[in-house]
Structure 1
């Protein structure tokens, strides 16, 4: 019913979610060649290592079957660094990622797919390039729905907020209603049954279930950390120099354990490091394993990111943190499928 191409596809979070919703994703484009293995092995789609800036309408058209009753979807989640809170107040105009939304808009204008989706950080709406993107869609006859989404309300066990845009030439469209607004999924529900491992160890049955090593002082810090607490719970001799300064006393979210009965914090590219956020395991004396971080991003438990002998924390952490959560991709896919079914039903009345 819906055929899709995924621009800026990364390791395939959006593609995997849309496929779970029944959308046929034929290809993903990205310049991060390391993502090829994860994208192709798990998604039965082709990874194309090509810059979207050089992508043409003809190249995209080749992926869509010429069959009546099929609808074309162009999906794109341009890298969010220029729009992130971290860059508030910085001059990011020279960032090479900045024009990518304009190139996405160009490809929509040339291809004229029936359906479009875009996902980014909530602060993307504060930038002129986003306003231009929406105006371009509307002037071409697309009906646009665009709002911030609390992913935890859709069953993602993570306090992640994203801005989601859906656009259709078939008529008004919107995201499906929240599925877990009153029943958020907790960390323990998702990772509580994984085998216990120590810092620096790896589960012999899963090369992704590995935890980073801890320095002796960080091992003492996590042993003195309580679930859901902060570094303020430590004895004075363990407190880091940066937290002794007036400027560091407000940063309570680093060197923390998660709470087992709550959703996790947002998974970042450094989600495997105890000192990089509240990424300490709620019970064990270590940071999250790569597998646990991927599960909290709603990747299937058997999702393969790299060949086992090539896994590194930095490379896989980057893929996990930059990914569209699979569950959010599924919700986007379900919304698009529901929209097309309603359109078809209206046609045949």
Structure 2
């Protein structure tokens, strides 16, 4: 069976302390896989991901073009436990991973509890349903920090504990694990084999914007690099071009001449939003990448020097995707809306690697007992 072959072979890709696990077959399934950020991080640390599942058809190309696992276009609500069990195959260690769409849990969500178990909130209940039926050895989840404020998250945790899992969760700073971005995320790890927790931070000093994207080719607003069509920047209106020319790294729209300040910012309700129309700073990590990180007016997404917003490639690199990660086919169209969604919603690859290292360390300690 193709999936079982991938499961047994991919474990040999690890290079650190995974040799002692090389005789153990491991199979991972990534729910809500998106463009493959978490999957890519797991694979880089030797954890074989046999399949990624997501409802968004735009995820298929980047997922399969960069990762050996298969992409399954499916709503997780419709995924049966038999299908998941078949994907795991006969692996000795099974890992169920996922990042349920975070919009319902973000501070911008307006309909917090109203979606109930049948709306987007219900996706975590389906995550729990699949875990209960298949009892994977390891369960891991990543989400926004505010998920912990809601009943659905605590129901998820309690369901795992009821099944016998030892559960650890906390908010981690992705910049402490090699992501060049200030991105705080809730990470959950659960194991049937004893206590498990996130490894200690791997980076004392965060990677800066300059270290991450400082060497990329200079481009103008609305321009694409000739050899990398993902290194493309959205166009700017004449007024926004003037605005970014008057913006300094780390500054705000308050630095502009009065005639460039937007009417909404002059109102009392707009004075408390200095973070929009801002430039990044070379010597600091980037702000949190969002699904609209390609727009100068959508946050502090202005390039530190060039008069433009960051490109899609720069956004992907700030999400710690490799420079050569493919998001569209050679002849495919570049859509800022679609790719912004895929990049902004992704689990940063380096955070995925840290999660994988935590799982590997746990499995090594279990095997040593």
Tell me if TM exceeds 0.5. Answer: yes
Any idea what SS the aligned residue of 1:110 has? helix
- Mapped pair 1:12 → 2:33: no
- Mapped pair 1:50 → 2:74: yes
Aligned to 2:55: 31
Any idea what SS the aligned residue of 1:85 has? coil
Q: How far apart are the structure 2 equivalents of 1:311 and 1:28?
A: 23
Q: TM-score, normalised by structure 2?
A: 0.91
Q: How far apart are the structure 1 equivalents of 2:198 and 2:125?
A: 24
Q: How far apart are the structure 1 equivalents of 2:172 and 2:110?
A: 20
Aligned to 2:27: 3
State the Cα distance separating 1:64 from its structure 2 match: 2.0
State the Cα distance separating 1:96 from its structure 2 match: 2.2
Residue in structure 2 matching 1:123, options 119, 124, 146: 146
State the Cα distance separating 1:61 from its structure 2 match: 1.4
Any idea what SS the aligned residue of 2:225 has? coil
Q: TM-score, normalised by structure 1?
A: 0.96
Residue in structure 2 matching 1:220, options 242, 260, 264: 242
Q: How far apart are the structure 2 equivalents of 1:3 and 1:89?
A: 36
Contact 1:159-1:265 at 8 Å conserved across structures = yes
Residue in structure 1 matching 2:302, options 280, 292, 296: 280
1:97-176 aligned at under 5 Å gives the runs 97-176=120-199
1:201-240 aligned at under 5 Å gives the runs 201-240=223-262
State the Cα distance separating 1:88 from its structure 2 match: 5.8
Residue in structure 1 matching 2:346, options 311, 318, 323: 323
Q: How far apart are the structure 1 equivalents of 2:267 and 2:287?
A: 25
Any idea what SS the aligned residue of 2:129 has? helix
Q: Which runs of structure 1 show a deviation greater than 3 angstroms over 4 or more consecutive aligned residues? A: 88-92
Q: How far apart are the structure 2 equivalents of 1:40 and 1:225?
A: 40
Q: How far apart are the structure 2 equivalents of 1:276 and 1:207?
A: 22
Residue in structure 1 matching 2:277, options 235, 255, 269: 255
Q: Which has the higher contact order (CA 8 A, sep 6+)?
A: 1
User: Are residues 219 and 96 of structure 1, via their aligned partners in 2, closer, same or farther at CA, if it must alter by over 3 Å?
Assistant: same
Any idea what SS the aligned residue of 1:165 has? strand
Aligned to 2:109: 87
Aligned to 1:344: 367
Q: How far apart are the structure 2 equivalents of 1:104 and 1:139?
A: 15
- Mapped pair 1:191 → 2:213: yes
Residue in structure 2 matching 1:60, options 54, 61, 84: 84
Aligned to 1:246: 268
State the Cα distance separating 1:90 from its structure 2 match: 4.7
Q: How far apart are the structure 2 equivalents of 1:92 and 1:276?
A: 27
Q: How far apart are the structure 1 equivalents of 2:364 and 2:113?
A: 44
Contact 2:167-2:191 at 8 Å conserved across structures = yes
Contact 1:82-1:92 at 8 Å conserved across structures = no
Deviations 1:4-28 (A, max 9, x none): 0000001001000110111000001
Q: How far apart are the structure 2 equivalents of 1:34 and 1:193?
A: 29
Aligned to 2:333: 310
Query: Which runs of 5 or more residues in structure 1 are unaligned?
Result: none
Contact 2:104-2:111 at 8 Å conserved across structures = no
Q: How far apart are the structure 2 equivalents of 1:282 and 1:140?
A: 50
State the Cα distance separating 1:342 from its structure 2 match: 1.0
Q: Give the number of aligned pairs.
A: 343
Q: How far apart are the structure 1 equivalents of 2:177 and 2:79?
A: 33
Contact 2:147-2:153 at 8 Å conserved across structures = yes
Aligned to 2:357: 334
